[in-house]
Amino acid sequence: MDEEKDQSKVSRRRFLEASTAMLVAAAGMQVAQGQEKSGATPNHPGVNESQPLPINRALDDQNPSSVWAPETDSGGQPPFKYPFSFAHKRIEEGGWTRQVTVRDLPISKKMAGVQMRLIRGGIRELHWHVGSEWAFMISGTARITAVDQQGRAFVEDVSAGDLWLFPGGIPHSIQGVGEDGATFLLVFDDGNFNEFQTFLLTDWLTHTPKEVLAKNFDVPASTFDKVPKKELFIFERPLPRPLEEEKRDASAGTGMVPNTFAFFTGKMQPTKVSKGGEVKIVDRKNFPATNIAAAIVTLKPGGLRELHWHPNEDEWQYYVNGKGRMTVFTAGGHARTMDFEEGDVGYIDRSAPHYIENTGDSDLVFLEVFPTAHYEDISLAEWLAHTPSRLVDQHIATGEDFLRQIAKKETVITPE
């Protein structure tokens, strides 16, 4: 009898424990549902923080620094981010392209960017433009060609991670030759650039009288009967001949350009390596043909591209892999933090201080591109390290011991 009573007590206790757990879970669900409806989160439960209206949860999750800005943000700093995903994609038989210009991102006054995908055999037709074209290969392999002002030829194959630079006015072409074609980024030193309004070979010839073409080349006018009536732009054709054969053919009589328009970053040692990541700087010092400087930055999880600014030019960014956040400070006490991930474009005005932090669990890879031949930056740490410590301490009250311990050479990426 006593044993039955004990078992009854145990069963009743377990029932009460289970009921309590169910009530707690239900209450938690109600809280969560209430937060979901109001837009509140566990970290921001205040009534003054609630959002009692429908919200775009996907965009909010991608942009936490805009939804819940750090307390250090201040003022009306305009957006300095634009995702390529928002850009109109023009699809042709040989691939597709889309662009981000000053018309999309008003702060991007001096530079514009284009994403392009060419299928195997896809050709971006022979063309040129006023501004210089700097390019970064994202994936695959491309055959690129150009001819300079003295008729000297350039033909090369570039693959993932490689760069090229075509100065303004230099005619060129791009063709996907990898097994999966080629995907790449183009950056132009003109914020108002328009990829859909370039000087195209077919467009030019079809708008020139055939008798003029015949006189120009001393051939019958019928030679040009099959010139396309509209631009080809991006189209598909058979693969090119072997690289060395095309180099010999193109360079006959004039030779190759003295300074190659391609740069193979895989053959380059990093400019700076630390526990937090690495950076490769490519400018006229190691790429003589370029008039656009760049840095390829890799930040490990938790790594920081240290507080710094660029005194000589604006900075255009492209995020290749990973997730991060950046705060930009501007004169007048304005500061704003925004979040970035693959395919996003960022832009910082000349001399505006900023940092980039890896907030993800994988490497963050991004490009810094500048409309100038020479890369320059100044770090906060380097500035403070080479200013008299008493003077600095009188400003920020950190103590001179801290200031004397700052590295005398620029760290670039932390941790060191």
Which are the catalytic amino acids?
368
At residue 206, the 3 state secondary structure works out as helix
DSSP states of 249-265 as a string?
HHHTTT-B-SS-SEE-G
Q: How many CA atoms lie within 13 A of 161 on its CB side?
A: 9
In angstroms, the CA 316 to CA 367 distance is 8
> 328: closest CA among 74, 144, 56?
74
- Closest-CA residue to 201 (of 129, 251, 254): 129
Q: For the chain, what is the radius of gyration of the CA atoms?
A: 29
Cα–Cα distance between 256 and 153 in angstroms, integer? 5
Residue located via tokens 């995908």: 117
Give the DSSP per-residue string, 10-39.
Answer: HHHHHHHHHHHHHHHHHHHHHHHHHHHHHT
Cα–Cα separations (whole angstroms), residue 256 to 247, 261, 315: 8, 11, 32
The two structure tokens encoding residue 37: 């409806």
| Burial class (CB within 10 angstroms; exposed 0-12, middle 13-18, buried 19+) of 18 | exposed
Task: Return d(Cα 221, Cα 223) in angstroms, integer.
Answer: 5
